[in-house]
Structures are given as C-alpha cells and as structure tokens.
Structure 1
Amino acid sequence: MRIVNRLSELIGDTPLLALCRTGSGSRLLLKLEQFNPYGTAKLRMALSMVLDAEAGGRLRPGGRIVESTSGNTGLGLALVAAERGYRFTAVVDGHACPDKLRAMLAMGAELVYVTEEGDEELATAAREELAARLAKDSGNAVFTEQHNNPANAEGYRPLARELAKALPEGVDHLIGAVGTGGSLCGTGRELRRLMPGVRLVGVEPVGSIAFGGPGGPYHQSGTGTPPGAPVGALVDYDLIDEGRKVSDRQAFGTCRALARRTGLLVGGSAGGVIHEALHELRAAPPGSTLVALLNDSGEKYLDTVFNDAWMAERDLLDPDVEREVGDLLEEFGSVGAS
C-alpha cells in the first residue's frame, strides 16, 4: 500500500477483469476504469489538459478553467481545480447525470446551464459555444475544449502502456466508446505503436453522427456526437478499423444483465461497449484477446439505467436484450471461467 499526497495520484493502474472466454480460447477482458477516483476514465484526460495548459502558459495561478461537459470530464476537472487552486466552471445541460452535477458542486465548481430545468436535451453545441464565450470574457481563464484538445488523447497513453505491461502476449482487439475520441484513439494510437496488429473498434449510440447515419436523440451519457455538433478533431478515422452503433435499449439492457449475472455495475456507454465486444468475441479468431475500455461506473445511474420506472417511462426496457446478453455470458462462460 502506498501513501499519496493528492487524490489525482491515484489515477491509473486500473485492473483488468476476465469477463468470459470461448471454447476456442478467445477471451474478453474489461479494463475497469471505474477504479479511478470518482469512477471514471475522464480523470486521465482532465489532468492532462490542465497540465498542458499550465505548461503552455495559458493557465496561471488563481485562474479559471471552463469546460462543456455531460458530467465525467467535469468531475475530473473539478478535482484537479480543487487540488491546484483554480476556479472551475462547468457548462452543462439536462442530459447530465444529477449525481455528477452534485459532486461537482461539492468540490466548489460553478454550474452554468444551457437548458431549462426538466429538459433532458443533449445540447453539446450550445454548451461549447457558451463555454468558449465565458472563457474569452474572463481574465486568466482557459476553455479546455475537450473535443479538440490533443492533451485529451495524450492523457490516455499511460492506459495503453498499462495494457502492454499486463498483456505482453498481445491485444488483438481494442473496443471503446467514441465521444471526444480521446480515450479510444489516444489509447489505440499508443497501443498500436507497441502492438502494431491491434484492431480498433469504436462504438457510438444510435442517433450519434460520428460514424454516419441519421442523427437523433439518445440517452447514453458522455458519448457520441449529437446532431448539430461537429465531430471532434480527436476522432481519428484512419486509426479506427470499424465503427459500430448501439441503441439505448441494447446498451442499457447489457448493463442490467451484467449486473444481475456478475454483480458488476457499469455506465450506459460501457454497456454499449460490452454489447458490441460480446459480438466481436463470437466472431474473433481462436486464441484472440479482446479488451473493452469501460470508462464509467454504474453507481451514478441507479436512478436511471437501473431504475425500472425511469426505463419504462422512456420505453427503454427490453427483456429480449437482457436475455440475449445473459445467454452470451452463459455460452462463453462468464466471470471466473478458467
């Protein structure tokens, strides 16, 4: 056991969980980023963006950090701001998880809403426009602009090195959610340098536009690119081998089935990643190692994804999806399989 001086020193070195294994020797491992403080991978990129702003002279002592966030990036920036003596303003909408917003407030963040109370709209474009204006109009302030900030992706290079150290025999498939593109592309770029043969699969919600197709509303939080918002500069199409879309029903049904079968609680976007990873596992060559990046824990979604009334009100309950995922876990041999 080590003693640390700051909570941010606990970022990284998250565990791998062997979820299941096929009869042909292929296996699916889950990179449990929920073991970072506040249960999210976004602390990696939040710290990286702040350190980069300091190094470049854009953020000076006593300054203000401004970011448009649906929650987890805001948690990370609120923590780093509290540790390093900065003010933090989070520009948010009604799509964000209330628990994340309350946690930011507890750490001294200022919340600025772009939607009316009770409106669950995902308003990414409006958030980013306001965040840029607030930073410009404030003295000694920086808009970290997570969707276009290279330091976002740089923050995930250590994650790739963790995988390479834990799996010296190699990773064949890396599956992750695509929102800003930082986690999958930042990890994947470094991992491909270390393991050139790794295949990258990006996952976004149905309704997100990063991989084409019609845009529309979705409830998966912290992932995807909604209609009207530009695809971030960090989404590297040359790096991603395949883009997949997963519906809210599929993503949330996977979360619920996984919780009941294994006791593991994950967030909605992580459910989408696992849904696609299970299907990728079925088609993988014998002896393959698949790693799914799980960027968020499920405890923040007890009032939504894991709440029958909330799910039913939005017509998101789908027993068929939950049954399908449960059958796949049973077919492959779930947690604890030898």
Structure 2
Amino acid sequence: MRHLLERGEVEPGDTLVDSSSGMYAQALALACHRYGLNCHIVGSTTVDHALRIQLEILGATLEQVRSSNDLRLDQNLRVQRISQLLQENPSYHWMQQYHDSIHYLGYSDIADLINKEVPDVPLTLVGAVGTGASTGAIATYLRESGRALRLVGVQPFGSVTFGAEHVADPDMIIAGIGSSIPFRNVRHDLYDRIHWLNFDYAMSGAVHLLRASGIFAGLSSGAAYLATLSELERDSSRTYVFLAADTGHRYVESAYARHAHAVNLESLRAHEVGTQAGLEPPWSSMDWPPPAHASQSTTARPLPPSGAFHSSHP
C-alpha cells in the first residue's frame, strides 16, 4: 500500500477492490482505513459474521458470491465479479492478490523479524503456498540476507498450483492455502519440498497445536504444523519456522467441532512420492522440483525492481 501511494498509483479517496476468502480482506481493509482509501471486497462464502462486522467497522464494503461447495466455482465467480466491477467503475484499482508480485513487498518486515529473532543457523521455513506472497516472499528476503534456507510449501489436494488437481478431497475447502485457478505470483522455483494434506489431517494438526501450545489457529496452520513435525523428523539438525496465518475462529463449526475425531499425530506419516502421479490422500510429500523438471532452475530469483510491480485491469 505504501509503495502504491508513494508511486502515485493510488491516492487517498480512491477505491481498492479485490477478492478474498477472509484474512486478506481484513488486511486490505485495515490498510485502506489507515491510509484513507475506500475498500470493496468480493468475498468467498467462507467470510463469516465476525469478519463482516470488522469490515463494516473499518468502512469496507463486502459482497459475497453465491454459496458453493466447489472451490473452483467459488474462485471463478469472484474473479468474474471483479471484472464486472472494473468495467462498471474504471477508476477502481484492482489489487490482484492472486497475480501481482507487489504483494511480496508486504513480507519484508516479517523476514527482518525472523532474522532478528532466529539465530543464523540452517533454517527451514514451512507454510501454506496460497498466492505465494507469504512463504515465497519471506524465503526470498531471507535468502537475499544470506540465510541458508529451505522452503517447504503446504497445499491441499485438488489445488492446481503444484499439480494436484487430479486428486480430490471432498471435505477440503481450506481457503487461501491452494487454488483451483492458476496464480501467476507463485514462483515454483523458490520451493524445495511440497506437502499435500487432506482436511482430516489439517484439522488434527490444528487441534494438536492448540493442545500443545495454546495457539488457536486455522486449518492451514494445522497443516503447516504437521508438515513441520514431519520435516523435523527427517532432519533434526535444522531450525524450523512455520507460519500460522490466521486464528481458528472461522473454523469452529467446520473443523474444531470435530475435535473428537482428531487423529493422534504420532501415528501419522506422509506418503513420499516422486511425481504428482503418485499423490494420494490423506498426506503426500515430495521434493521439488520433481525429476521431470530437475533441469529447471531452482535458484530463487531476486524480486523484480520496484518499477516492475503493478496492478492492472484484466
């Protein structure tokens, strides 16, 4: 937001619009409120009452697409609505959280915090891939600072981002962790390993995280926690940082209410695969890139220069 204001791409009083399943909507509304901008959110069906009230208090407007249990349909409907809004209101600024690399800029402070708080030792960062702007950006800044870093991404089955669209999980709609449509700001070459987890395992991880630490976090955090334990078992010589992106409040009915069915984590193991063809629920993991893509560069590219960041209409 600061970058856009400094470059004059938006000005106080302008309206910023984007699609969101929850946490991004809150963040955008907070930033717009701070800098005197209007905010309009095209929301997922997962936006709950508590978040709607917060958006109202912050002055943001929200419209939700029609209810759907199909993640692909939900995301497509939101993108279609954004296109309609931009045609009707050409002065609106579309933030493009799925596609614009400008969102990487927002995580430099998090990387700085990790550098300050975590000793300079071999480090593994674990977190949901989503748009790539969180894990990908933090990893990029840490590597630029000279850190010896491995990046482990977490995905749901059914996500196209790392080629799991052929494996379904009927219970899994973990908003923000994966995607049924291509996200252009995911930089695959930043990642060293990928974990795919189903709903039950992510829920079990979240329940265990609460019991072990008192941290009441969302499903993606439970999945990242479980993946981190698995990576720690593989290599205990490294220090691990995992990202807990949101709280568990909006998952109370859909996930935490099932806590009696949570599985003991000590009995859970990932199914190690060599290619996406071998992926299978409830949990699979794989080194990245797979052998078929091993010739491609896996070196983290530097972030584009500031002038390369832009948000444009579709």
Per the normalisation by structure 2, the TM-score is 0.77
CA deviation map 1:65-121 (0-9, x unaligned): 1010001110011112222222211101213344323321332221122214xx444
Q: Is the 8 A contact 2:142 2:149 kept in 1?
A: yes
Distance 1:133 1:319 in 2: 42
Identity fraction in percent: 26
Q: Give the corresponding residue for 2:109.
A: 158
Q: Does 1:291 align with 2:291?
A: no
Distance 2:12 2:262 in 1: 53
Q: Does 1:243 align with 2:161?
A: no
Distance 1:203 1:195 in 2: 24
Q: Give the corresponding residue for 1:100.
A: 51
Give how far 1:139 is off. 4.8
One-letter amino acid of the counterpart of residue 217, structure 2: V
Matches within 5 A, 1:156-235: 156-213=107-164, 214=166, 216=168, 218-226=172-180, 229-230=181-182, 232-235=183-186
RMSD, aligned CA: 2.1
Q: Give the corresponding residue for 1:80.
A: 31
Distance 1:135 1:81 in 2: 18
Task: Select which of 256, 274, 295 maps to 1:306.
Answer: 256
CA shift in 2, pair 1:73/1:297, >3 Å:
same
Q: Is the 8 A contact 2:43 2:62 kept in 1?
A: yes
Secondary structure of 1:65's counterpart equals: strand
> Which segment is superposed worse, 250-259 or 206-215?
206-215
Distance 2:216 2:264 in 1: 17
Q: Is the 8 A contact 1:94 1:115 kept in 2?
A: yes
Q: Is the 8 A contact 1:201 1:243 kept in 2?
A: yes
Q: Is the 8 A contact 1:209 1:215 kept in 2?
A: no
Q: Give the corresponding residue for 2:206.
A: 255
Q: Does 1:320 align with 2:263?
A: yes
Secondary structure of 1:146's counterpart equals: coil
Q: Give the corresponding residue for 2:302.
A: none
One-letter amino acid of the counterpart of residue 202, structure 1: G
One-letter amino acid of the counterpart of residue 250, structure 1: Y
Distance 1:58 1:66 in 2: 14
Secondary structure of 1:320's counterpart equals: coil
One-letter amino acid of the counterpart of residue 157, structure 1: S
Q: Give the corresponding residue for 1:4.
A: none
Q: Give the corresponding residue for 1:19.
A: none
Task: Select which of 40, 51, 71 maps to 2:2.
Answer: 51
Distance 2:257 2:265 in 1: 14
Distance 2:267 2:209 in 1: 11
Q: 5+ residue gaps in structure 1?
A: 1-49, 312-316, 326-338
Q: Does 1:127 align with 2:78?
A: yes
CA shift in 2, pair 1:290/1:178, >3 Å:
same
One-letter amino acid of the counterpart of residue 157, structure 2: V
CA deviation map 1:3-38 (0-9, x unaligned): xxxxxxxxxxxxxxxxxxxxxxxxxxxxxxxxxxxx
CA shift in 2, pair 1:207/1:132, >3 Å:
same
Higher relative contact order (CA 8 A, sep 6+): 1
Q: Is the 8 A contact 1:270 1:293 kept in 2?
A: yes
One-letter amino acid of the counterpart of residue 133, structure 2: G
Per the normalisation by structure 1, the TM-score is 0.72
Secondary structure of 1:203's counterpart equals: strand
Q: Give the corresponding residue for 2:308.
A: none
Distance 1:294 1:106 in 2: 25
Give how far 1:223 is off. 1.5
> Which segment is superposed worse, 167-176 or 154-163?
167-176
Q: Is the 8 A contact 1:94 1:121 kept in 2?
A: no
One-letter amino acid of the counterpart of residue 54, structure 1: L
- Count of matched residue positions in the alignment of Structure 1 and Structure 2: 263
